[in-house]
Amino acid sequence: MANCYLVTGCAGFIGSRVCEMLLADGHEVIGWDELNDAYDPRLKQWRLERLRQHSRFSFSQIDVADQQAVERAFPKQIVAVVNLAARAGVRASVANPQVYYRANCLGTLVLLEMCRRYGVKKFLLASTSSLYGAHNPVPYREDTDTNRPLSPYAASKKAAETLAYTYHYLHGIDVSVVRYFTVYGPAGRPDMSIFRFIRQIAEGEPIVVFGDGTQRRDFTYVDDIARGTIAALRPLGYEIINLGGDRSVELNMVIAEIARLLNKQPTVVHQPPHPADVPATWADVTKARTILGWTPQVPIEEGLRRCVEWYLEHREVMRTIRLGNG
């Protein structure tokens, strides 16, 4: 049965892919995005133009933390809010924590209140593996302690998760919290390592690695993340679910594989580790497998190949995209 969904952050990396998959399944999608300049807006416009080609997609430029704007525009016909609007990024949140709290905490609260007011029964919140900090053993389980976040970004997502639970408890809203692990893929965020490494190695620019490159990440391909997000729209009560690649790989391995795919020799510049970074991430995805029937399907080697092919196809524009935040 076709439904109508509100997807916030629809021009974002993950949000745009979730929209595409919902549209492909025959649903209607109302997309909201602030279109801020947290990273080069041309990439957001590129994604948005692809979505605008669908007749069942409509777009409004809205900041979810702007309560008056949300109240004016909130659609009454939706079956769920898919809240992917957020400020993301560990290091940038240390430099500018206020914008993270506005988007991630206040924005979540405004949307939850609209769901309560208009009887929207399903709320999905995108969260992050950054909540697990540095004190927990890997792989991370959802019931692991998340009370020691290392960055304002992680702390803001912890606050959003807690708000979502409160609205579930008080008002019966069905909530799925999906914790994402290092998402990558074509048209990915240019402040993330894989986009930067591909661009810099392809163009003969030096790449900066914080630390010695032995830090490990559970890289997760965007299509797998989008599938898991949509699967979590089913009624669950209140559940926190890891979505990860179920494999932790060294950053040095990723750099070497990108260099091999591009047939280029990388120039690596090492800088001291950032205090907000963790040495390793790795998702235990048993819960997602059990209650969603979800499992990651795209291994890192295949995902990197797709990313490199995409970059080379769109190279004339993507070589000029601003890397990093701000």
Rounded to 10 deg, the angle between the 251-262 and 193-202 helix axes is 40
To the query of whether residue 140 is one of the catalytic residues in this protein, the response is no
Q: What share of the chain is helix, strand, coil (3-state, %, to 5)?
A: 45, 20, 40
Exactly one of 5, 39, 140, 153 is catalytic; name it: 153
5 - beta bridge partners?
Answer: 29, 80
Asked whether 89 and 191 are in contact (CB, 8 A), the reply is yes
Report the distance separating Cα 59 and Cα 255, nearest Å.
Answer: 37
Asked whether 31 and 51 are in contact (CB, 8 A), the reply is yes
109 - beta bridge partners?
Answer: none
271 - beta bridge partners?
Answer: 210
Report the distance separating Cα 115 and Cα 31, nearest Å.
Answer: 16
* Catalytic residue positions, numbered: 153
